[in-house]
Amino acid sequence: MERVARRILVAAAMCFFCGGGTLGQTAKAPARLDVDLREAPKRIFHAKLTLPVTAGSLTLVYPKWIPGEHAPTGPIVNLTGLFLRVGGQEIAWRRDEVDMYAVHCDIPSGTSELEVSLDFVSPSAAVGRENPSATAQLALLNWYMVLLYPQGAKSDDLTYTASLRVPSGWKYGTALEVASESSDAIEFKPVSLTMLVDSPVLTASHMRTIDLSPGQKPEHHIHIAAESELGLEVPPETVQQWRQLVAETGALFGARHYRHYDFLLSVTDNMEVDGVEHHESSDNRVPGRIFQDESIAESMTDLLPHEFTHSWNGKYRRPKGLATPNYQEPMKGGLLWVYEGMTQYWGTILSARIGTFTPEKLRENLAWVAAYLDKRAGRVWRDLEDTAISSQVVYSSPQEYRSWRREADYYDESTLIWLEADTIIRKESGGKKSLDDFCRSFEGGENNGPKVMPYTFEDVVAALNTVWPYDWKKFFTDRLESHGPGAPLGGLENSGWKLIYNDTPNDNRMAQELPQHLTDLQFSLGILVHEGGGEGGDEIIDVNPGSPAAQAGIAPGMKLVAVNGRRWSTGELRATIRRARGGSEPIELLVENEDFFRTYRVDYHGGERYPHLQRIEGKPDLLSEIAKMKAPAVAAAKD
Ligand SMILES: [Zn+2]
């Protein structure tokens, strides 16, 4: 599929330039994009695009490869109501029969402007990777959803002047700079197509903006949108932690690559939890009760630190294969263990440095990550690098057989690998150097606006060697290509901690399990159960190969009904495992497999087992050193 798409792109571009050129769009003749979100609560966005053109055949494309999603997820299925007009007269268009994202048309002679009108329909619930972009009370506009551009053009070379109408009384937040504003519409300053696509707009009836670096340049703001005023009530200590995050990134990277930074935060249960990075902003979507419910807040701890880190690691410094000239050129994800993996490491560590993770919570988080990856059965057939190379498909993997499939493991497993790199630099340099120095030299540099500096694997190795000489090429290659059993746990051990199991539930995992309705018993029986209730039932979403449950015959996709003859619940199942400890009677699980019921006898007597970190006596506690606040503490927030 990828090769076909690429061939078509090349063929079309050749024919395009040989044909004398129909691309009338230049920086001097910008496209105009007028978007109307007044019907956003009805989940339909209207757009009118005016493109400068010249006569001849023209192919327009809808963005397919969406930055930050590392996949061809452009929501073409939601593009509706497409009409092309010149001088008020409708002209015909025809979709390419192979490339679903391309439409062909003929521009009549004497024409300099093409008018395109289109609608974007937002799904009301998630379908695959199609997520809602609007609710009754708020909307998130990604400009790529409502535009076309000439095939073959580079997004840096195209200029778009955009305007936006929002429902009456709604406010908005975006990194885009405003040229003028009236009660009728917001007019943005002209920007490249790259910047437009990279600058979503959040708009809502209930919205507030908080300054996260008062009195400083560049400015940082968070724009919070919610379904009600209650959703906007942020605890002052959270605001203080966000301000500390701004300070900590300054200490970590030493430079900023944006003119100003705008966090967009959608607080709603009517969108999917998500986070997408941009150069000067990020699109963060969290559950509606995040500021009222501690376990929801804990399950979202690293979201803002992760997405913010991407401004440096992912947007400014970007793997060559992901720095594509436009949205039709396929992306190559082989270096996502740096782009996403090191971001995951810093998202976790920055959460500790700003205090949203206490030292205990940080250890519980790392213990769980290390433990579940240590049990990944699929590493015998699939190495870590392959999970990154296949990023364009792994995000949509079904949950069943997760341990055997592996999924986007380049996030969490790279946390362990970058921790190991950090501890090697710290140990070998006697504490004089650390991965912070690598970040400053590789991702810091000049204070500049949005800019992309592509890199290769060799560039990462060379930059690490300037911080501390080591065989970094072998270090990463061994871990990326390993088919050996077990997760890379060297970083934990270097940092003075080892992975252990006991019968006390992992605190950080419990905070994730509660809002997600999960019961994670993968380290004892070997199963992960989702309490769906109702029609979906309580599904066993994974069974670790070789575990007691797997040996008894239980498989993912089955539904759990009863435990030792009694209707199952999380509490009942955990209590049964405790009671069976050291005994000889098997635990009986009544399971529904489509229309058939069967009791499986699980021969397990090891009791409850949950992962934790335990101090290695005599070794320096580097983990606590890494997790310490590095910037001066910001003042308490009064907001
Ligand atoms: Zn990310």
Ligand 1 center–CA 70 separation, angstroms: 10
Q: What are phi and psi of 31, to 5 degrees?
A: -80, 155
Residue 515 has pLDDT above 90, yes or no: no
Question: What pLDDT is stored for residue 13 in this prediction?
Answer: 29
- Within 10 angstroms of residue 161's Cβ, the number of other Cβ atoms is 17
Ligand 1 center–CA 180 separation, angstroms: 33
pLDDT digits (tens, 9 = 90+) for 527-541: 999 987 655 568 999
Separation of alpha carbons 557 and 89, rounded Å: 54
pLDDT digits (tens, 9 = 90+) for 363-385: 999 999 999 999 999 999 999 99
Q: Check if the beta carbon of residue 282 is closer than 8 Å to that of residue 275.
A: yes
pLDDT digits (tens, 9 = 90+) for 552-596: 999 999 999 999 999 999 999 999 999 999 999 999 999 999 999
Separation of alpha carbons 30 and 51, rounded Å: 7
Ligand 1 center–CA 343 separation, angstroms: 6
Ligand 1 center–CA 113 separation, angstroms: 39
Ligand 1 center–CA 303 separation, angstroms: 9
Q: What are phi and psi of 100, to 5 degrees?
A: -65, -15
Residue 5 has pLDDT above 60, yes or no: no
The average pLDDT across 298-325 equals: 97
- Write out the H or E segment, with its range, that includes residue 15: helix 2-18
Q: What are phi and psi of 36, to 5 degrees?
A: -120, 110
- Write out the H or E segment, with its range, that includes residue 211: strand 206-211
Ligand 1 center–CA 615 separation, angstroms: 30
Residue 272: how many CA atoms within 13 Å on its side-chain side? Answer: 15
Q: Check if the beta carbon of residue 376 is closer than 8 Å to that of residue 403.
A: yes
The whole model's pTM is what?
Answer: 0.94
Residue 629 has pLDDT above 50, yes or no: yes
Token pair listed for 456: 């290769």
Residue 15 has pLDDT above 90, yes or no: no
Question: What pLDDT is stored for residue 11 in this prediction?
Answer: 27
Question: What pLDDT is stored for residue 203 in this prediction?
Answer: 98
Sign of CA dihedral 404, 410, 411, 416: positive
Ligand 1 center–CA 422 separation, angstroms: 20
Ligand 1 center–CA 33 separation, angstroms: 29
Give the DSSP letter string of 42-95.
Answer: GTEEEEEEEEEB-SEEEEEE---SBTTTTBS---GGGEEEEEEEETTEEE--EE
Neighbours of ion ligand 1 (CB under 5 A): 340
Token pair listed for 103: 């439409």
Separation of alpha carbons 277 and 318, rounded Å: 12
Ligand 1 center–CA 25 separation, angstroms: 33
Question: What pLDDT is stored for residue 398 in this prediction?
Answer: 86
pLDDT digits (tens, 9 = 90+) for 446-468: 999 999 999 999 999 999 999 99
Ligand 1 center–CA 411 separation, angstroms: 8
Separation of alpha carbons 240 and 355, rounded Å: 10
